[in-house]
Structures are given as structure tokens and as C-alpha cells.
Structure 1
């Protein structure tokens, strides 16, 4: 084998083709890996534009084995290892080419297509420079060919859509050189080690060797080995007295974090956690040969380690004020604040600020994080802001003032009081951040009432409750009908307010409250120990007016709890974050889906009319033509920009796979709801009240409630459902039930071992609403259904059953079909369940 470092462009140029063998898994990079790559690209672009010396970024290795070559044909290479990187970069170039096309740069389109994506003078499969494994091939070639179905629901389509959005966003924010610089970075500044096998080498054995290595050394392991190699005389004592206690008190993960944070607070704000060893080694190089100086460095690291422990374990902090805010940030979760918090503790221990001043500074940090979450400010660049903070604070001011001034910088997006009020009134708070963060904000708001007997939140089992229910009964919709605007249905009004903060509270009685009428909820809330619930119980009714009134009261409390930036006014001319979120939502929509103006409005906390006006002014936005009226029709006001040759919107949607009826209405099954739109970019969207299965085994009382509800609401399907559940039990599964008023049912399967459970369930059955949800959203994280082809096979088998119509574009969501299908097709459903169990059993055998 031979190896050489090479740029991506030089790797792919020439009449060659990289073939991914069948034994490789399908393309599997998700949003997190794509974001990391794009952040690296963005850093290189920034350096290049500012004129800084720009060293190539090492992307990893690609192991190739020579394939067959025919006279006049392409040189074929088998991709033994590195197919994820190759596929990702090819999709990035496909997105770049299509972005250039949208800007009218036809020469750029031709250049990228010919230089990178295709072998220009070859046809058929030889035309493609990269040929993925069979399962990914159709989705990949759709992107390379710019076909209508490009950007589908699988991982290939998702990566293409990610890059289309990234180029559109960067183009708007950057100068005229930005796109060209990105192209330069992708071609010439991403470094790859090309490892080439010799003819006759056993390719599969090479692949097996690469992918079955043991656990490698961590970055902190490498640093420790390096340091103690340089301490031949003092090493044993330094290890016993300093390094070992630090390692034992922190544990492996926190030690790794500490070594990275040490670089950050020293001023290396661009240090990556994957490059800790190299950066620390570079820093310590000048001390080689001076054991005293190296010992001092270990002492400094150990001291910083003790400070870091006060951040992750706030009970160790002696100052009450500082301990309280550290506890709040620990409850908030995440590591974003670690660099700045550690820097502040450095200042406290060095006597350069007081504990109270540091506590006030961290209160601003808490406020900054909370306000951004409530306002749903994009998190792009958030980690970078806190990594730059330790060396960017003004040193001639008290720490708290310096932190507030730093975070108030215009590009750091600390929402003003006005923005906070608008967001609390209109944004779907229930989809903001992670569930513990949502609960944390409600808890802090409850504590602001300063009750004489505060609730012990550590012991109370509280969850977030919608006062106006997520699934409203007719009485609720009748109440909302009194407040609807012209041409607005009660359901549309419900969707706009149900997830806002004014409609949410904390309770331990979630299952009791459910979707009861408000009068019944009042009776339950009146007995609550929470002041915010007693306040809700005092209302005479609960509709839009009451929700907005409560939102304003909560805003007053939030402003007091979490102070805003200096000035506290939204900069004039700055675009609303909602439009940024709208563009991001349109980009993540897979081809073959559509949504409505109301769904977009619900997602971003706006109004359908405002959404329509924005899209009418910006029809060229990626995916704008996929937003239809509530009936599923093209809006009469939608027009392409003049001078273009675009297909009519309905024809374009039809070419992507959208089905229309004779009245021009798009098929309802292909519509993405606001919740589904929120799920696609990775928001933690908790499902409606039926929720997910209880952790316990079968519950006889819940089973009886499920059977009764099914018999009362869908009597024709009752026997077919129960027969299918009995069949499931005979196949080795068991049945679980939800905890709410509508007692949902889940056929569960543990496809693991006694030591490693592997729980999964194919569907959730809802006996009142009469729907059967196919839980692709969960299956995509559970082997073997983390493979798109396995989920597609499940979808195709179900779609062969009359009455089931699941759109392929929802392979990562929770599409549904009517429970009445069980009335006449129970046996066919059992055949699908049998296949599901067999696929899980085969996967278990292969894993063992």
C-alpha cells in the first residue's frame, strides 16, 4: 500500500470512478457531522477572505483499491474506506452547482459539474465520478443530475438539502467573494490522505482490519503520555501527586474537556477538541528539557481542574451567590458556557474579581442563553462566541459589566425586551430547545412568584402541560370560534396559540388533565401547589385572549429574571429571526412534500398572511413553491420572478411526486405539519398527549381501557386489532399502553440480549382518533431500521395493503393510516409484523 496527501480536486480529477462496494453500509452522515464539516469550511473561508495564511484542513483518509479498466474507459477504484467523506463532498459540490445556477452563474455551473461531478465524455454509469452502493445510487444520481426528486427523505437527500440551505444562507450573509471562496476551499484546502492498495491485495480484509480496531487512545491519554515521556526524573512524583488525583476526580470525559478548555482560556479560541493533543504539544514544545517548567504546567492544569469541578459540581463552590448561578447553569445543561465560566473562576481565584461580580456575570450568561431559546434564535456560532469570550472581555471593567457588554455585541444576537415579548406571545415555545430546558424556564417563572412554601422541584415529578389541549375536543373549538379572525378556522387559531408559553404550565397531573374541558381542568389546577396554576384556575374561560394576557404577565417576570442586553432595543433594519427560520424550514423539506402558510406561521410564531406576503416577495427562495393554501392549492398570488423559465408550480410539484386531485388539491398524506417541519431540522418536538409507551410491562387496566375505547369508537376494527396484537405476542413481542386519557397501544419488541436491551415498536395505535402511527422517527435510530432501505421496505410492505398510503418523503417522521384498515386487512398487517420481527431477529443474530 502507498499513501500520499492530496487535495479533493486532485483526488477526483481525470477519467476515474470511485465505486462503493456492496459490503459497505449506506450513506449515514447526519446533521451533526454535516454541521461540523461546514463549520470547518466556514473557518477556512473566513481566514481566506481576511487574508490570513490558510493551511489545508485535514479531512481524513480514503483507502482505495484498483478495479478493472477497459480500453477507452474510466479507471475504477473501490472505496475500501472513506465513502462517507467522498459522498458528502460530492453532494456539497452538487449543491454548490445548483446554488450557482440560482444566481445565474452558468460558467460556474459548467465548471463544477465537469471538474468534480462527472466524467464528461462517458455515458451510463461511467458518467459519474462517484458510484455509491446500490441502495443510495438513485438518490445520489438524482442530485448529480438535478432531477426534480433530488433532496428526498433519505440521508443522501438530507445532506444535499443541508448544503443547499448552507449556500443560500452564506450567500445572503457574505460578500460577493464568499461563494467563490467556498469553492476554492472545497477544491483546494481540504486535505485527504489517499491510501492505495496494490493489485491482488485482499480488499475485504483491509476493510475489516480498518473497521475492527480496538478503542484508541483519547486526546488526554496522548497528552499524558507525551508529558511524562518528558519527565524522566520527576515523572513518578508528578503523576502520583498531581495528574492521578486530577484524573480520578474528573473522570475521562471531563479530563478531556479540561485539556481543551485549558487551550481556550489561554487564548486559542479556535482549538478543536479533536486536535487537543497536537495543540498542547505545540504549546509545550519550548519547555522540552526543563522538567521544572513542565511540572509547573501540570500544577496549573490541576488547579484549573479543581475550578472546573466547581462548574460541573456546583456544591463545591463556597460562595452562595456564585454557587446558586452555577447550579442554575448546570440545570440548564450543555457545555456552551464552560469556557467563560472557567475564565471567571480563574479571575476569582487570582483575586482579580469578586465571587459576587462573577455571579452577576454568569447571571448575564444565563439570561443570554434563556432569551435566545425563547426567541428561537439560531444557535449557529454560539459555541464560537463563548470560546472567544475569555480573551475578548474588556479588562478595565468589572467582570459582570465586561460580560454584558461583550454579549450585547450586535452580531451576538441577545434578544431585546421587545423581541422577548413578541416571542412569548407568538413562538411555539413547546418546540424550543430540549425538554429539560423548557421545564427549567417554567420552573424559574414559578419561583419568581416567591411562594412562602416553595415546591421541591428535585423531588416533584412535574411535566409540561398544555392548558388548551394539543388535541382539542369539540367544546374547545367552539370556544375558540368566538375569537377567530376573518377566514380563520378554530383549528387554525388553536394551532397558532397551543404551543406558546402563555398556554403552558407545570403539573404532576398531566394524565388527569389531558383534553378535559377547562372547567374540569380548573378543579384540578385549584389544588396545585404551584402559584402559576392557581392563577390559571382563577380565569373564567381559556382562549386566545387569556393565553395572550398570561403571556404578557410572564414576559414581565421573564424580563426581571433575565435582564437584556445593553441598550435593550432591537437594531433598526435587522431582519426578524422568524424569516431565517422560515428559510431553514423550506430547505429541510424533502422533495415530494408540501406544507401550508398556516403551518409555517405556527412554526415561526407569525401569521399566515405575513408568511404569504413574505413568500410573495421572495418567490425564488428554495422550496417557496411547496407552500400551499390550507386546501392544498397553489396560492393565486404566487408568481415566479419575471424572465425565468420555471415550470408552473403544480407541474413542478407533480414532477417531484406530489399527487393532485381533479380540483388541483395536493394529497393530504404528503403534507408536512408544523410539528413535522420542526422535527426535520432536529428540534426536540414532543408528540401530542398519547405520547410513547410506558416502561412497564403489560397493564391489565390500561389494556381494558384501550379495548373499551376501540370498541366504542371503531367497532369494525376492534376484532382485527386485537387479533393482530395476539399474533404479535405469539411472535415473542408484548403490548404496552400509553398513560393518557386516550389509551394508546404499542406492540413492543426487545430485540436485544439480557445484558443489552434493544427496544423497538413499529406502530402506535390510537383508539379514539382512529389512527395508526408508523414510528419511522424512532426506528431510524434503532438497528436494523437505522438503514433507510429497511424503513423503506417496511413502508412498501404496508403500502401494498388497501387503505394504507404512506408517503416515502416521511421516512424520518411518523406518518399514519386509519385504524379501520384492520377491519378487513388484519391478516395482511400480521404478515408485515411477522416480517418486522424477522428483520429484527436477523439483525440480532448478526450483531451477536
Structure 2
């Protein structure tokens, strides 16, 4: 291993092909990385223009490993980029943008100069046409990147018009390399027009057209500023280049560098590990990548999983759920990469005969996870279950649901067990039983499914005889009692309670009623207000203030928060209903809502504890049908 610092010019000037291994992540630098890079470059350019540049600026490390040293006679040397590919790619994108601005201003010599840092002079035994490029990115970025190298701005924009929104490239583009090129080109033009700026480029001016004057003085000034930017990048910025020897293990070094500090996603490390082993097996790694991994590189997978904790990208949660489903074990999100290595190569012996089988496993689970997250809709049972778990913000059950997606599990089993899982969660909430143990319950169920198979019988056996408050599956009697007597309004967050009431709404409809979809913006409303007033007197004793300590007030407070006193209304109606009398509320219910839950109040003259209990009993009768007991299906 050899380590030394080098100016960017010395890194890029010699004919050498840098190859980014296909198992590394795509280019990802966005504004939070591009802006500091640009600020460093323009600051050094300002020093060059002022003749005050005394110190060089370090831009980080570049770790490279030689490829087939013995066979590179009369060929362009090839090195793998073990680490620093994002940084190296950014330098190349910036140079391309500089060249484009030079082309607009017809600085021909400048263009030729820049091309020397983008392209190799190929040798007699070079057979790969990509050898002429200094940098070969991952397959996902390769076509776009090389088009940026070969085409002018107009041709690139024409070919990649689909990446624009109006006249700009949005921040959430799936091709950050294109946005980087777009922004660099704009910022360089601004620099040529206005000179150095201490402020970051203003976002609101992103679409501005920038032109440099046509007279000779303006052209000379633009040329000086462009040369200063090139000088800043090539001569005033440095990289610490670490060149590995033939006996250095690039894989170990890569994993060590990316396991601490600001790490790659766990799935990035997994990908690196998988394809590193694939190369050792002599597999057709590029074919495997395109066929079985490329779908997982979609930007959707890197978005934060919306209902999962901790906040991590979907791809990491998917991996954790896959491992839990496949092993039945408890998976640590903090040690996810180590968990995967232990799974794939237990005790140093590969679990799979070849890497393709390993990738096929991920290919099997990916659509199941996508369905649970609402991205796919082929499996209606898992799609429905995923939507319910989104309302309840409960994703710890995903491994069990993914086990139910196994090829040998029938649709009937999947339908019945997912319904029972939903019932289990809702029943425990309505019975005021703790939800803090659900992750352990579902992990234990995943273990049982792994050992005995994902069947209805296995599901029932798991809960039989478990009567403790932290795990039991409440029966019908306990559910009825909970609905009548427990504080349903304490069920939080509110989307859970809205889901319960909406299911009761659907069950309240007659067979001949229309079945509209759930409207947006529903609120939970107390019919008898939480803070009742003189409008809500007691039958004989007049008015007691809430929380007054009188037995009547205590009983009313309990009734007010029970399920029988809760209903659904729109947000606007909620504001107008407030603490009004029952007569006024009943009129609003009749006038402004078509929900069957609220038809219950039509024709009634009173609303107090007795009426609330009556409705609670009615809703309990619906609930035992909506959310079945363990032995009811």
C-alpha cells in the first residue's frame, strides 16, 4: 500500500482508466455536497485571480486498486476505485461543465485542454471502447455519464428532456449526476458574469438565463475567470491517493472505511459483499446486476420508510424484514450489515450454492415488501394489510406478512391470517392492553412460522394458552367489555381511532347502501363533549363541572371517552359542532354528513350515559364480527 497527496491534475493527466465497481452505489451527491464543493472551487479561483493563492486545499481521499497488472503491457492501465468514487465523479462532472461553458464562448484551446483530463489516449492493445474515458462509472450511471462526456449541452438536454421539470432539473431526479452537470454549468456562467461570490448560489435564481457580454473586454474577462476555475480545480485542490498493492484486500478496506462515521446504507455494503463474492465465483456480474439488482437501485428504495422506526431508507428496513422472515430471528438494525454477512456466509461457509440463488431470494421478497408499502397491487390481501398497518404505523409485523407471501402459502391462508393479525392489533387497543410488546410478539410468531410453516394452525398454536396481558389475543367477552368501559379516545395516534370508526361505519351500512371510499380529512368527534357545559345537565342534579370529583362527573367523564360516544365527521363540521347541545349537534349530523354512524342519532331526543352505553353495546356487536376472535375463522 502506498499513500501520498496529489494535485487533481496529476491524478487525471496520465492515461489511466478508473473503473467504479458495479456493486458500488450510484452517483448521489446533491446540493448539500455540491454547494460546498463549488464554494471551495470558486474561493480558490478568486485567490488565483487576485494572485493570492498560497495554500492548496485537500478534498479527501481516493483509494485505488490495480487490475491485472501483468497483462497491461501496451494497454491503458486500469484501476478500481475502492473509495472516493463520488468525489472523483464530481471532479469529472465539473470539468465537463467547464468545457461546455468554454464551448459556448468559443474558447477552442481551453476545450482541448480540458479534454485531456476527460479522455485517455488509447494504446495498441486496448479493445474495450470505454477505455477512452478516464472514468467508467457503475452501470446505472454509465450511459448518461458518457453522453455528458461526448455531447454538447443542447444535445444532452434534447436526449434527456424527460429529466427536466419545466426548465430545471428537480432535486429528486433519479440521476443526480445530470443535476450536478446542470447546476455546475449554471454556476460557472454566473461566475464568468459576476465574478466570485461569498454567498451560495440562490435557489430562486436557478432558472435564470445568464449571458456574458459580447465585447472584447468581456470576452477576455470571461476567459480569465474560466482559466482561474480550471487552475483552481487542477492545481490548487489535492487528493490523498492511496494505491493498494496486489496483496491488499480491497474488500476489507472498503468495508472498514464505510462502516464508521457517515456510513453507506447497510444495503450498499451488502451489495458490495454479494458482488465481490460473485466475482470470485467467476459469475457474469454485470448480467446479474442488471437482471437482479438494478430494480433495488430505484430512488424509491432510498426514501425513508414512512411508518418504520428508526428512520432509515426503505432498502434497509426491507433487508431487516427479509432476514427476519427468512431466519425467524431477531435482527438488529444497528448491525444490519453484520447480520446479513452472518446469514449469507454462516461460520465462513456460504449458505447458497451461488450468488444468483442469493439474489433470487431478495428478488422474491422485494415485491412482497413493495406491496405492503403500497407500491404494488397484485396481491390484494397483502396490499390491504399493508394499508391497515400504515394507519396503525406498525411495521414490525412485516416479516410475518412476508412469510405469508411464500410460494407454498395459499391465498386463503394469507387472507385469513392477515385478517387475524389486524384483529389482534385492534382488539388489544380496544381492550387497553399494552402495545409495547408487539415487536417481540411478532418476532416470536416469525420464529414459529419459520420452524413450523406459515399456516393458520401454527398461528393459533402460537397464541393458545398465552393469557398474559403482554401477549394474549383478547376474546369476544373481553372485547365487548373494553368497548363499553375503556377509554377509546386514548388510542393514538388518531389515524388508528379513525380506522376503527371507519370499519364500524362500513359495518353499519345496509346491504342496499352505496359503499363510497373513505373521504379525506375525517376527524373523531365526541358527541357528549369532553368539557360539557350547562347545555348538558344531569337528569336530576343539574350541572356539575367536569373533573369536579362528584361521582356523576366521574362516570360521565368515562362515558364521554368510550367508543359509544365517538363518531366521525369532517374537519369543518368538527369546528362548528364544538360543545353545542345535543339538539344542535344532531341537526348538524343530519344536515352535513351521510355517514351511517351518525344516522344513529336521528330521532333521538337525549344523549347521556345510558344512551352512550346502548350505542357502545351496538358497536361491540359489530366489532366482534369485523375483528374476529382467534377461533372464529
Q: Does 1:400 align with 2:456?
A: yes
| Counterpart for residue 221 of structure 1 | 268
Of 546, 559, 563, the match for 1:497? 559
How many angstroms does 1:379 deviate by?
1.9
CA contact (8 A) 1:357 1:399 kept: yes
CA shift in 2, pair 1:479/1:441, >3 Å:
same
Q: Once the 2 structures are TM-superposed, how far is the Cα of residue 407 of structure 1 from its aligned partner?
A: 3.5
2:371 aligned residue:
310
Which residue in the other structure is 2:416 paired with? Answer: 360
User: For residues 3-82 of structure 1, what are the structure 2 equivalents within 5 Å?
Assistant: none
Instruction: Indicate the residue corresponding to 1:243 in structure 2.
Output: 293
- 2:537 and 2:488 map into 1 onto residues whose CA distance is 21
- Partner residue in 1 for 2:599: 534
CA contact (8 A) 1:395 1:402 kept: no
Shift of 1:555: 0.4
Summarize the Cα distance change of 1:231–1:453 in structure 2 as closer, same or farther, 3 Å threshold. Answer: same
Q: Which residue does 2:108 correspond to in 1?
A: none
Residue 380 (structure 1) shift: 3.0
Q: 1:426 is matched with which residue: 466, 479, 485?
A: 485
Task: Name the CA distance, whole Å, in 1 between partners of 2:397 and 2:332.
Answer: 16
Q: CA deviation at 1:277?
A: 0.9
Q: Find the partner of 2:623 among 558, 576, 598.
A: 558
1:257: Cα distance to partner?
A: 1.3
Give 1:514's aligned residue.
578
Report deviation, 1:214. 6.5
Shift in alpha-carbon separation, 1:536–1:404, aligned structure 2, 3 A: farther
Give the 3-state SS of the residue equivalent to 1:463 in structure 2. Answer: strand
Aligned pairs for 1:155-554 (under 5 A) are: 215-232=262-279, 233=282, 234-248=284-298, 251-252=301-302, 253-285=313-345, 293-313=354-374, 315-318=376-379, 320=380, 323-346=383-406, 350=407, 352-393=408-449, 399-410=455-466, 411=468, 412-451=471-510, 452-454=512-514, 456-479=516-539, 481=541, 488-508=550-570, 509-527=573-591, 528-554=593-619
**Are the aligned partners of 1:502 and 1:551 in contact in 2 as well (CA < 8 Å)?**
yes
- Matched residues, number: 350
Deviation for aligned residue 1:288? 6.8
Provide the C-alpha distance between the structure 1 equivalents of 2:295 and 2:398, rounded to a whole number of angstroms: 21
Shift of 1:450: 2.9
Contact 1:425 1:501 in 2 (8 A): yes
- The separation in 1 between residues aligned to 2:344 and 2:354, in whole angstroms, is 10
Deviation at 1:401, TM superposition (A): 3.5
Q: Could you state the TM-score of these two structures normalised by the residue count of structure 1?
A: 0.39
CA distance, structure 1, for counterparts of residue 369 and residue 429 of structure 2: 25
The separation in 2 between residues aligned to 1:342 and 1:398, in whole angstroms, is: 10
Change in Cα spacing, 1:368 to 1:465, as seen in structure 2 (3 Å) is same
Q: What is the alpha-carbon distance in structure 1 between the residues aligned to residue 298 and residue 557 of structure 2?
A: 51
| Deviations 1:498-518 (CA, angstroms, capped at 9, x unpaired) | 111111000111112111110
Distance 2:350 2:410 in 1: 38
Aligned in 2, Cα 1:335/1:324: closer, same or farther, shift over 3 Å?
Answer: closer
Measure, in 1, the Cα distance between the counterparts of 2:340 and 2:398. 19
1:538 counterpart SS class: coil
TM-score normalised by the chain length of structure 2: 0.51
Per-residue CA shift, 1:695-742, capped at 9, x if unaligned? xxxxxxxxxxxxxxxxxxxxxxxxxxxxxxxxxxxxxxxxxxxxxxxx
Distance in 1 (alpha carbons) for counterparts of 2:581 and 2:477: 33
Distance change >3 Å, CA 480–CA 526, structure 1 → 2:
farther
Q: What are the residue-to-residue correspondences of 1:683-702 with 2, within 5 Å? A: none
SS of residue paired to 1:477: coil
Contact 2:483 2:562 in 1 (8 A): yes
- In 2: Cα distance, 1:301 partner to 1:251 partner: 13
d(CA) in 1 for partners of 2:564, 2:318: 40
Q: Is the 8 A contact 1:480 1:543 kept in 2?
A: no
Note the C-alpha offset of 1:381: 2.2
1:421-468: CA deviations, max 9, x gaps? 221112111111311000000000000023444464443421000000
1:185-217 CA-partner distances (Å, limit 9, x unpaired): xxxxxxxxxxxxxxxxxxxxxxxxxxxx96322
Q: How does 1:99-110 map to 2 (within 5 A)?
A: none
CA distance in 1, matches of 2:450, 2:339: 26
Q: Please give the alpha-carbon distance, in whole angstroms, between the structure 2 residues aligned to 1:341 and 1:228.
A: 29
SS of match in other structure, 2:568: strand
CA distance in 2, matches of 1:385, 1:465: 33
Q: Distance in 2 between matches of 1:445 and 1:290?
A: 48
Inter-CA distance 409–454: structure 2 relative to 1 (3 Å threshold): farther
Aligned counterparts of 1:250 and 1:480: Cα–Cα separation in 2: 62
Query: Separation in 1 of the partners of 2:540 and 2:494?
Result: 28
Give 5+ residue unaligned stretches, structure 1.
Answer: 1-212, 569-848
Change (3 A) 1:537 1:415: same
Cα gap change, 1:458 to 1:502, in 2 (>3 Å):
closer
Structure 1 residue matching 2:601: 3-state secondary structure:
helix
Aligned-pair distance for 1:338?
Answer: 0.4
Cα offset for 1:481?
4.2
CA distance in 2, matches of 1:228, 1:220: 12
Mapped to 2, the partners of 1:304 and 1:532 lie a distance apart of 40
Instruction: Assess if the C-alpha contact under 8 Å between 1:231 and 1:291 holds in 2.
Output: no
Distance 2:421 2:381 in 1: 15
